[in-house]
């Protein structure tokens, strides 16, 4: 797995009809040769929510919806990209592109990708070439299907190709995951990894620190159906703060656990994430660790002053070290304190569910996969606090309509659910959810043209690639 190369460049037969976006690009830039098309898919996560940044695995697959960038390399270091989805034009020089656009601007995802390779020294800013192009997407936006990471990946691959640079896909995924944090969310590494390395008909079990992938076969005669709750979960608005808060809560949970471990056993380990407390390192079972966590997190939610007291470091040091965000700001202290215990419970039980789901998929045990998805959803709601009324209604209706498992997917706070459905009942499932959720519960009639963006079965697809047109 470790020798996949990014960007994967595929030469297109010169006699084949070019992609529509490439035709548009050629008209716009009056170019009838050398053009590229970067394609990066979105993803749906079957299970393993909010585990990635904790160093525990996830189990997503890349979907058959993507962001495309048709481009030509620039002669200089200009990056110029026009959105065909009406988000306008963004243009910057690679050398000067480090300061972000306004919070929430889509151009920040393009800048993030460029910045990642510069900071790692993969591309030298003094000699870098930009690219000029147009982009369009078929991934519903703010829906938890990773349209923003797909844009980061597509832009990253375009930048690599414009500079004739190839690199290991795992390294590339790591760089893009880190650099996407530049856009203000402390995300983990799932979305960029699966967008880059997805594989047709396979889910990907992704492990982190270091990044590793394993292909897991999907179930025969069953499909994963995505249903959009139509509650926008924009990573740039309030969902961003709620997401970052959970990242901070998990860091604090790890801090408390580390202190408890030293206090109880004298064992001092280098552990900044919950996933670092594995039995090999600690010499303890997860059951022992859970008992310790229960004691040290007693009374949760905990104000930072109580946490400081329990771990024996100052409030200022905690704020500086554990509440700092990658964009240079510090997370604002929540008045009611940090929910360390519930977050801990979600993360460690979710990590186990990922392993169990991989086993259940491998032996083709549909019922077990569905049950694990349902348990995951309950934990996302009760322990992680990332569901909402609409997602509850939608998962309930999906189960009533025959889904074997139904859960929110992605960061939560709105967005989509993923539903495991037997292929033979697919059309009745879609019909029932359409009536019961969209028409009866939300009171909206889905435009038949848009329906496929709201309620659709997903095929597991290959990861990102670049097509070269000569």
Length of the chain: 470
Report the residue number, 71 or 109, with the smaller CB distance to ligand GLA.
109
Buried b (16+ CB within 10 A) or exposed e, 407-434: bbbbbbbbbbbbbbbeeeeeeebbebbb
Q: What's the min distance (Å) between Cβ of 162 and ligand GLA?
A: 26
Size of interface with ligand GLA, in residues (CB under 6 A): 12
Q: Is 75 a catalytic site residue?
A: no
Pick the closest to residue 372 from 420, 416, 322 (CA basis): 420
Q: Answer yes or no whether residue 188 interacts with ligand GLA by CB under 6 A.
A: yes
Q: Answer yes or no whether residue 208 interacts with ligand GLA by CB under 6 A.
A: no
Report the residue number, 209 or 441, with the smaller CB distance to ligand GLA.
209
Report the residue number, 370 or 410, with the smaller CB distance to ligand GLA.
410
Pick the closest to residue 46 from 430, 426, 463, 421 (CA basis): 421
Q: What's the min distance (Å) between Cβ of 74 and ligand GLA?
A: 29
Report the residue number, 7 or 187, with the smaller CB distance to ligand GLA.
187
Return the residue of 137, 187, 198, 415 that touches ligand GLA, per CB under 6 A.
187
> How many whole angstroms separate alpha carbon 395 and alpha carbon 393?
6
> How many whole angstroms separate alpha carbon 435 and alpha carbon 329?
45
Q: Answer yes or no whether residue 112 interacts with ligand GLA by CB under 6 A.
A: no
- For the four alpha carbons of 116, 118, 122 and 128, in that order, the dihedral sign comes to positive
> How many whole angstroms separate alpha carbon 20 and alpha carbon 229?
31
Report the residue number, 401 or 406, with the smaller CB distance to ligand GLA.
406
Q: What's the min distance (Å) between Cβ of 240 and ligand GLA?
A: 11
Return the residue of 37, 170, 190, 455 that touches ligand GLA, per CB under 6 A.
190
Q: Are 136 and 83 in contact (CB under 8 A)?
A: yes
Q: What's the min distance (Å) between Cβ of 317 and ligand GLA?
A: 26
Q: What's the min distance (Å) between Cβ of 383 and ligand GLA?
A: 14
Report the residue number, 52 or 339, with the smaller CB distance to ligand GLA.
52
Report the residue number, 42 or 130, with the smaller CB distance to ligand GLA.
42
For residue 240, give Cα distances in angstroms to 131, 344, 379: 30, 20, 20
Q: Are 219 and 161 in contact (CB under 8 A)?
A: no
DSSP assignment string, 426-461: HHHHHHHHIIIIIIIII--PPPTTTHHHHEEEE---
Report the residue number, 146 or 357, with the smaller CB distance to ligand GLA.
146
Return the residue of 52, 77, 249, 339 that touches ligand GLA, per CB under 6 A.
52
> How many whole angstroms separate alpha carbon 48 and alpha carbon 43?
13
Q: Using the rule CB under 6 A, give the single segment among 130-138, 184-192, 261-269, 308-316 that binds ligand GLA.
A: 184-192
DSSP assignment string, 12-49: PPTTSPPPHHHHHHHHHHT--S-EEEEEEEEEEEEE-T
Interface residues for ligand GLA in 123-162 (CB under 6 A)? 146
Give the three-state DSSP class for 101: coil
Return the residue of 22, 35, 411, 421 that touches ligand GLA, per CB under 6 A.
411
Catalytic residue among 13, 64, 86, 191: 191
Q: Answer yes or no whether residue 191 interacts with ligand GLA by CB under 6 A.
A: yes
The arrangement of strands across the sheet holding 222-228 comes to 405-408, 416-422, 222-228, 455-458
Pick the closest to residue 386 from 422, 360, 413 (CA basis): 413
Q: What's the min distance (Å) between Cβ of 348 and ligand GLA?
A: 15
Interface residues for ligand GLA in 240-279 (CB under 6 A)? none
Q: Answer yes or no whether residue 207 interacts with ligand GLA by CB under 6 A.
A: no
Q: Find the radius of gyration of the CA atoms of the chain.
A: 22
Q: What's the min distance (Å) between Cβ of 410 and ligand GLA?
A: 5
Q: Answer yes or no whether residue 50 interacts with ligand GLA by CB under 6 A.
A: yes
> How many whole angstroms separate alpha carbon 273 and alpha carbon 276?
5
The mark string for 10-49 relative to ligand GLA (x by CB under 6 A, - otherwise) is: -----------------------------------x---x
What residues are labeled active site?
191
Q: Which residues bind ligand GLA (CB under 6 A)?
A: 45, 49-50, 52-53, 146, 187-188, 190-191, 410-411
């Amino acid at each position: 797995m470790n020798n996949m190369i990014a960007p994967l460049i595929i030469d297109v037969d010169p006699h084949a009809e070019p992609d529509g976006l490439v035709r548009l690009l050629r008209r716009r830039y009056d170019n009838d040769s050398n053009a590229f098309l970067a394609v990066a898919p979105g993803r749906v996560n079957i299970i393993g929510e909010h585990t990635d940044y904790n160093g525990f695995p996830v189990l997503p697959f890349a979907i058959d919806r993507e962001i495309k960038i048709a481009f030509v390399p620039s002669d200089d270091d200009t990056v110029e990209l026009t959105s065909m989805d009406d988000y306008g034009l963004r243009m910057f020089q690679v050398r000067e592109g480090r300061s972000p656009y306004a919070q929430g601007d889509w151009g920040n995802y393009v800048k993030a990708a460029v910045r990642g390779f510069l900071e790692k020294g993969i591309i030298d800013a003094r000699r870098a070439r930009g690219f000029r192009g147009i982009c369009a997407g078929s991934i519903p936006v703010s829906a938890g299907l990773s349209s923003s990471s797909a844009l980061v990946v597509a832009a990253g691959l375009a930048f690599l190709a414009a500079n004739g640079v190839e690199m290991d896909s795992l390294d590339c995924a790591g760089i893009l995951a880190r650099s996407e944090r530049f856009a203000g969310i402390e995300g983990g590494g799932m979305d960029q990894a699966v967008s880059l390395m997805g594989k047709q008909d396979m889910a990907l079990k992704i492990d982190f620190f270091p990044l590793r992938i394993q292909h897991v076969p999907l179930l025969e005669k069953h499909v994963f159906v995505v249903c959009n709750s139509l509650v926008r979960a924009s990573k740039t608005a309030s969902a961003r703060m709620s997401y970052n808060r959970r990242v901070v809560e998990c860091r604090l949970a790890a801090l408390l656990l580390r202190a408890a471990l030293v206090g109880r056993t004298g064992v001092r380990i280098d552990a900044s994430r919950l996933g670092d407390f594995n039995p090999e390192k600690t010499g303890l079972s997860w059951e022992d660790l859970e008992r310790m966590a229960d004691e040290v997190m007693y009374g949760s939610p905990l104000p930072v002053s109580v946490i400081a007291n329990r771990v024996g470091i100052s409030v200022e040091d905690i704020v500086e070290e554990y509440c700092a965000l990658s964009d240079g700001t510090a997370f604002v202290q929540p008045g009611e304190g940090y929910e360390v215990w519930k977050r801990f419970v979600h993360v460690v039980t979710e990590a186990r569910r990922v392993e169990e789901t991989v086993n259940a998929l491998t032996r083709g045990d549909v019922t077990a996969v569905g049950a694990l998805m349902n348990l995951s959803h309950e934990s996302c709601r009760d322990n992680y606090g990332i569901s909402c009324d609409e997602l509850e209604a939608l998962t309930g209706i999906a189960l009533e309509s025959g889904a074997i498992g139904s859960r929110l997917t992605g960061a939560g706070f709105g967005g989509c659910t993923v539903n495991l459905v037997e292929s033979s009942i697919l059309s009745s499932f879609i019909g029932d959810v359409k009536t019961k959720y969209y028409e009866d519960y939300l009171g909206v009639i889905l435009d038949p043209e848009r329906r496929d963006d709201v309620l659709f079965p997903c095929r597991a697809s290959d990861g990102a690639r670049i097509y070269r047109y000569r």
